[in-house]
Amino acid sequence: MSSQLEQLRERLAEVADINQAAEIAGWDQLTMMPPRGGPQRAEVLGTLEQISHDKFVSPEVGRLLEGARSELEAAQQTSPDDDDWAMVTHTQREWDKARRVPTALAGELARASSLGQEIWVQARRENDYSAFAPVLEQHLELKRRYVDCFEGFDCAYDALLDDYEPGMKTAEVTRLFAELRDELVPLIDEVTQHELDDSIVHGHFPEDAQRRLVREVIELQGWNAEGWRFDDAAHPFATSFGASDVRITDRWEEEYFPSSLFGGMHETGHGLYEAGVAPELMRTPLGRGVSLGVHESQSRLWENMVGRGRPFAEVLAPKVSDIFGGQLAGVSAERLFRAVNRVAPSLIRVEADEATYGLHIIIRFELEQALIDGQLSVSDAPEAWNAKYQEYLGIDVPSDAQGIMQDVHWSGGLIGYFSTYALGNLIGGQLWKQVHSEIADLDAQLAAGELGGLREWLRVNVHQHGAKYLTDDLLHRVVGTGVEVGPFVQYLKTKLSAVYDIALV
Amino acid sequence: MSSQLEQLRERLAEVADINQAAEIAGWDQLTMMPPRGGPQRAEVLGTLEQISHDKFVSPEVGRLLEGARSELEAAQQTSPDDDDWAMVTHTQREWDKARRVPTALAGELARASSLGQEIWVQARRENDYSAFAPVLEQHLELKRRYVDCFEGFDCAYDALLDDYEPGMKTAEVTRLFAELRDELVPLIDEVTQHELDDSIVHGHFPEDAQRRLVREVIELQGWNAEGWRFDDAAHPFATSFGASDVRITDRWEEEYFPSSLFGGMHETGHGLYEAGVAPELMRTPLGRGVSLGVHESQSRLWENMVGRGRPFAEVLAPKVSDIFGGQLAGVSAERLFRAVNRVAPSLIRVEADEATYGLHIIIRFELEQALIDGQLSVSDAPEAWNAKYQEYLGIDVPSDAQGIMQDVHWSGGLIGYFSTYALGNLIGGQLWKQVHSEIADLDAQLAAGELGGLREWLRVNVHQHGAKYLTDDLLHRVVGTGVEVGPFVQYLKTKLSAVYDIALV
Average pLDDT over residues A48-73: 97
Q: Give the dihedral of Cα atoms A308, A309, A310, A316; nearest 10 deg.
A: -50
Specify the amino acid at residue B468. Answer: K
Answer whether residue A134 shows pLDDT above 80.
yes
DSSP state of B228: E
Distance between CA A268 and CA A258 in Å, rounded?
15
Per-residue pLDDT, B235 = 86
Distance between CA B489 and CA B278 in Å, rounded?
32
Answer whether residue A390 shows pLDDT above 70.
yes
Per-residue pLDDT, A234 = 85
Residue burial A216-252, b: 16+ Cβ < 10 Å; e: rest:
bbbebbbbeeebbbbeebebbbbbbbbbbbbbbbbbb
Per-residue pLDDT, B2 = 79
Q: Which of A21, A28, A35 sits opposite B48 (nearest CB)?
A: A21
CB-CB neighbours of B452 under 10 Å: 13
What percent of chain A stands above pLDDT 70? 100
C-beta of residue B306 within 8 angstroms of C-beta of residue B265: yes
Tell me the pTM. Answer: 0.93
Is B32 an interface residue toward A (CB < 8 Å)?
Answer: yes
Per-residue pLDDT, A1 = 58
Average pLDDT over residues A319-346: 98
Render pLDDT for B61-114 as a digit per residue (tens, 0 to 9).
999 999 999 999 999 999 999 999 999 999 999 999 999 999 999 999 999 998
Whether B43 sits inside 8 A of A18 (CB atoms) is no
Size of interface A-B (CB pairs under 8 A): 119
Q: State which residues of chain B have pLDDT below 50.
A: none
- Choose among A478, A23, A502, A457: nearest CA to A240: A23
Residues of B in contact with A39 (CB under 8 A): 244
Distance between CA B143 and CA B160 in Å, rounded?
8
Residues of B in contact with A56 (CB under 8 A): none
Which of A29, A41, A249, A280 has the highest number of chain B CBs within 10 A, making it the mutation to test binding with B?
A: A41
Chain centre distance of CA A190:
29
Average pLDDT over residues A18-30: 96
C-beta of residue A353 within 8 angstroms of C-beta of residue A340: no
Is B185 an interface residue toward A (CB < 8 Å)?
Answer: no
Q: Which of B25, B36, B229 sits opposite A21 (nearest CB)?
A: B25
Which of A44, A230, A231, A281 has the highest number of chain B CBs within 10 A, making it the mutation to test binding with B?
A: A44
For the question of an ipTM over 0.90, the answer is: yes
Strand, helix or coil for residue B126: coil
Residue A146 pLDDT grade (very low, low, confident, very high; cuts 50, 70, 90) = very high
Helix axes A170-191, A486-500, angle to 10 degrees: 10
Per-residue pLDDT, B430 = 98
What are the catalytic residues of B?
267
Residues of B in contact with A275 (CB under 8 A): none
Render pLDDT for A264-312 as a digit per residue (tens, 0 to 9).
999 999 999 999 999 999 999 999 999 999 999 999 999 999 999 999 9
Return the residue of A nearest to B41 by Cα.
A241
Per-residue pLDDT, B1 = 58
Whether A21 sits inside 8 A of B39 (CB atoms) is no
Render pLDDT for A210-265 as a digit per residue (tens, 0 to 9).
999 999 999 999 999 999 999 999 889 999 999 999 999 999 999 999 999 999 99
Is A14 an interface residue toward B (CB < 8 Å)?
Answer: yes
Average pLDDT over residues A464-483: 98
Whether B36 sits inside 8 A of A282 (CB atoms) is no
Whether B226 sits inside 8 A of A34 (CB atoms) is yes
